[in-house]
Amino acid sequence: MNKLCLILALHNHQPVGNFDYVVEDAYQKSYLPFLKILERHPGIKLSLHYSGNLLLWLKDKHGDFFDLLKNLIKQGRIEMLSGGFYEPIIPAIPDDDKTGQIKKLNEFIEKELGYAPKGMWLTERVWEPAMPRHIAKAGIDYFPVDDHHFKLTGLTDKDLHGYFLTEDEDYAVHVFPGNEQLRYLIPFKDVDEVITYLRSVFENPSSITHHSSLVCMADDGEKFGVWPDTFKHVYTNGWLERFFSALDKNSDWLQTTTFAEYISKNPPAGRIYLPTASYREMGEWALFPPAAEEYDDTLKLLKNLIGDKKAHTLLRGGFWRNFLSKYPESNHLHKRMYQISRKVHKAVKELRVESEKLKKQNPKSQKTHQASRITHHDLLDELWQGQCNDAYWHGIFGGLYLPHLRSSLYAHLLRAEALSEQALALTPYHEADDLDKDGYKDIFLSTKTLSLFFTQKGGALCELSYKEKAVNVMDTLSRRYEAYHRKLSKCGDVHEHSETATIHERLVLKEHDIAKHLVFDPYRKASLIDHFIAKDTSIDQFRGNSYRESGNFIEALYAMKSGEKKNSLETEFSAAGEVNCAQEARPLPVMINKKISVRKASPEIAVLYEINPCAETKSEISDIRSRLSRNSSFCIEFNLSFLGSPEPEVKALSKGKTSGWGITSVTEAKKISMLNVTYGYLGISAIFEFNSPVNLWQFPVETVSSSEEGIERVYQGTTFIIFPDSEFISGEENQFGFVITLKGT
């Protein structure tokens, strides 16, 4: 009698840049106890994937775990799956990096664990039809996705008890459907319920003949102990031990196997062409909030009419790349990654050529080996770490909303950029194009010490990166409405949910009154944003976005140009707009000009503003200036974030006296001539020196976002609102300027 074959494929991963104590907690709660229990059940086989950076951590911190893993592999009980070394979304990175990352993990697994992988874990199961070529060229033959991918082609459950062949451009790979129902059963439902379901699959004939019937569960390994409340359920209360024992007990009709073993004994069920897809929940998260709400409402109606399975199949969500539309900060990081990848691969090519020349000149030259090491480790490895997927998107996990993950990606990308620019002797240089592919022109300036990224939209500064510390000090995330925000009133606290609930079924609040912190930004929190606001606007109105914007410059398309002088790179912006003062019958026409000069040899930026009425006669100009200064205030918005840390200190010089406060405080200060923001941990200061005293508002930017632990408030950065003296508007002072200096402490 043919048995039902069960593949249990588990994916274990920690984001690049995650805190060491978080990884250690996952090790103690999931990675180690899982293998210890598996070791006691010699009849059970598994397919396991660990991302490359997690394997590096395990090897460094827990060599005994590595030994246990190698022993289980030698016994033929574990099949190791490869993948992108640093867990990138494979179709969302450059082609050379696709194959390079997979090959790197192939080689690591074979060298360190003695296993040559032929299968892989596809990050977030994000599939696009052109992928077979890149996967096959990396030496990979098979991988699991979700049954959702297959059902989108019209197949049903009874058609999915095997695996399939797919191809593109004559490159073929094999793909397995992961069972969504089993993914929700394991480990959240009672073991008997899981076995009952597997028995029903065994007893109901499949449409696939001539091979053993198969069911595959492919999901995160962290749900065995790391996800909320699962450690107690899985280990303390013995769910995993009972499950493995039940598999042993039912071995007369049920057997665990691996992808490699199953392929060796069974042909594919057929050829298939899968559409662009990920797991079903990802499609929901990728939608813009209004569509996500409509999806949720429609799904509930359909479930009542036709049942859960049919509703999930017939109603489709979005697709992963839409996160790049949904979140401009994600898109910026993604397009900067592409920009840096081009530099890196150009530098790699040149370094390889140089290495070959040195080999021919002197085969034993130490310089040859040094060039080779820099090429492969310092350049490519830094780039590839910057492609780790977690901070490029947001779903049930924190992802993009976690500042330490974003800042880690920036750190690796900036180090890769600095090394490649050094190898290519690029700096200083400037380029102008639609670099972030948002339909607006951009200017990028790069010196030995700084990288700056400006956009035509609002004439804003979107990135200011300090190369010495590999940090983007403007890595702030805007506050946006998310579809789950409408559910906050229906959420319970962290103690009100069943310990066996999957994270997809949990929505809890980490603060009882967190809804009061919901504030949404109508524009991206960049810097050098130009505001005109009513004179009586308060800081609370401004930070709560309940004020009225009098000008139309925030999203105006500024004319811009860039150039180079002997000691600096220059960029200029200008825009004609209107200021609608409540007391005025007609809008006041105004021209804003701002010039930014970046020193080539030091991390110093000079900013110079001019505001001029759009009028021809002196009397008209004087009249507009008078009305402006009487009825409105001009201010410049700057947003700073040092690794998303709430610890930096702010010091200000006013009338010869120095005062200080925390960076997360809500503060108003007057007559400031110098501002110093210092972060001791990073060893960096951002110093603002004004050519005339300014008034200042400061307030924190905090998002309300979801994570696997629940809905939480996250500090993203701090907004500084700089008010030049009123004489600047009235015309008594022709220019207003300040100098920003970044330096190590």
Task: Give CA–CA dist 120/367, Å, rounded.
Answer: 36
Q: What are φ and ψ of residue 617, in 5° steps?
A: -95, 155
Give residue for tokens 């010196």: 447
What element of type H or E holds 197?
Answer: helix 191-203
Angle at 97 between CA 477 and CA 349, to 5 degrees: 115
Return d(Cα 484, Cα 296) in angstroms, integer.
10
Question: CB atoms < 10 A from the CB of 377, how many?
Answer: 10
Of 79, 87, 97, 124, which one is the catalytic site residue?
A: 124
Cβ-based neighbour number of residue 6 at 10 Å: 23
Whether the CB-CB separation of 217 and 179 falls below 8 Å is answered with yes
Provide the angle, in degrees to the nearest 10, between the axes of the packed helices 32-39 and 63-74. Answer: 40
Q: What is the dihedral of CA 491, 495, 499, 500, to 10 degrees?
A: -10
Neighbours of 8 (CB within 10 A): 23
**Cβ 162 vs Cβ 178: under 8 Å:** no
Tokens of 339: 């920009």
Spatial neighbors of 138 by CB under 8 A, at least 6 apart, are 98, 99, 102, 103, 106, 120
Nearest to 175 by CA among 209, 214, 206, 202: 214
442 is an active site residue: no
Could you tell me how far CA 449 lies from the centroid of its own chain?
25
Q: Which of 168, 220, 499, 689 is catalytic?
A: 220
The 10 Å CB-count burial string (b at 16+, else e) for 272-295 is bebebbbbbbbbbbbbeeeebbeb
Check if 124 is active-site. yes
Return d(Cα 113, Cα 73) in angstroms, integer. Answer: 8
134 and 98 Cβ atoms separated by less than 8 Å = yes
Whether the bond between 613 and the residue before it is cis, its omega within 30 degrees of 0, is: no
In angstroms, the CA 269 to CA 455 distance is 51
Dihedral of alpha carbons 467, 471, 473, 477, sign: positive
Query: d(Cα 643, Cα 121) in Å, to the nearest integer?
Result: 30
**If you ran DSSP here, which 8-state letter would residue 251 be given?**
T
Tokens found for residue 626:
């008078």
**Hey, which residues are catalytic here?**
124, 220
